[in-house]
Amino acid sequence: MNNILIELKGIKKGYQITKTNRLNVLKGFDLNIYKSEIAAITGKSGAGKSTLLHILGTLDRPDEGTMMFESTDVFSMNDKQAASFRANDIGFIFQFHHLLPEFTALENVTIASRIAGKNDEAKAKELLNEVGLADRMHHKPSELSGGEAQRVAIARALVNSPKMILADEPTGNLDSENADAVMELIFGLREKFKQTFVIVTHNEEFAAKCDRIIKMVDGKIV
Ligand SMILES: Nc1ncnc2c1ncn2[C@@H]1O[C@H](COP(=O)(O)OP(=O)(O)OP(=O)(O)O)[C@@H](O)[C@H]1O
Ligand SMILES: [Mg+2]
């Protein structure tokens, strides 16, 4: 099927805690992510949601299993290919915005473009406009509200037009009004840019609105 963006097969991941004690976090599952979908990942604390998101973002490797991104076997790439893939094809949004404190909103977004070898300030401005921050571009993170800072982080995640955006509890640090605004924004961006979003969330209202809920229980998908 050509509407599959990512195909995970037989994913296992664990941590060696002591010589004799191994913690198996992801216990072997297959998962497809489809083009232009907004998929929510839900499940209890410790279920392995962030671990799965890190694997999807190639920030971490599974112990076993494969990941095809379109026709690319992701875990067979060398470090240089993987870094380029991460910078160009994947955008990350975290619970805390992780903006660089000494740079303005515009600089924070532009720097992400520069890292991917583009330095496209016009695109950074377009996206800040898109997230409703046209009049906040020259503010530093400390001069932004929490919701505004998170919207800058969303603009940053989108600046290189990645095929997939991964978000780990993007509304987890926001009050309900700002959380709703971020949710609306993500749905609006998908309509406009047709990108794929995979979002870890504890927000049930948010999850219910997504195209699909991927529920994790004890290292498996149910
Ligand atoms: N580097 C590590 N070394 C050892 N154990 C780890 C490591 N990273 C995560 N774990 C353990 O793996 C399990 C899954 O962690 P993960 O962060 O994926 O959970 P989660 O579903 O995202 O939880 P939460 O909802 O609290 O964010 C947890 O029990 C955690 O303690
Ligand atoms: Mg987590």
Ligand 2 centroid from CA 129, angstroms:
30
Task: Identify the H or E element spanning 8.
Answer: strand 4-16
| Cβ atoms of 98 and 150 closer than 8 Å | no
Ligand 1 centroid from CA 4, angstroms:
27
Closest ligand 1 atom to Cα of 219: 14
Ligand 2 centroid from CA 50, angstroms:
4
Ligand 1 centroid from CA 50, angstroms:
7
| Cβ atoms of 170 and 201 closer than 8 Å | yes
Give φ, ψ of 79 to 5 degrees: -60, -40
Ligand 2 centroid from CA 48, angstroms:
7
pLDDT score recorded for residue 143: 97
Cα–Cα–Cα angle for 156, 160, 165, nearest 5°? 70
Q: Is 217 in the pocket of ligand 1 (CB under 6 A)?
A: no
Strand 38-42 and strand 196-200: the pairing is: parallel
pLDDT score recorded for residue 163: 94
Distance of CA 134 to the CA centre of its chain: 23
Residue closest via CA to ligand 1's atom 25 equals 45
Q: Is 219 in the pocket of ligand 1 (CB under 6 A)?
A: no
> What pLDDT tens digit does each residue of the chain (222 aa) get?
579 999 999 999 999 999 999 999 999 999 999 999 999 999 999 999 999 999 999 999 999 999 999 989 999 999 899 888 998 899 999 888 899 999 999 999 999 999 989 999 999 999 999 999 999 999 999 999 999 999 999 999 999 999 999 999 999 988 888 899 889 999 999 999 999 999 999 999 999 999 999 999 999 999
Q: What is the 3-state secondary structure (H, E, C) of 178-196?
A: HHHHHHHHHHHHHHHHCCE
Q: Is 23 in the pocket of ligand 1 (CB under 6 A)?
A: yes
pLDDT score recorded for residue 1: 54
pLDDT score recorded for residue 2: 75
**Ligand minimally distant from the alpha carbon of residue 14:** 1
Q: Is 49 in the pocket of ligand 1 (CB under 6 A)?
A: yes
Q: Is 47 in the pocket of ligand 1 (CB under 6 A)?
A: yes
Burial class (CB in 10 A: 0-12, 13-18, 19+), 203: buried
| Cβ atoms of 101 and 141 closer than 8 Å | yes
Catalogue all structural domains in the chain, each as residue range(s) with its CATH number.
36-65+77-221 (3.40.50.300)
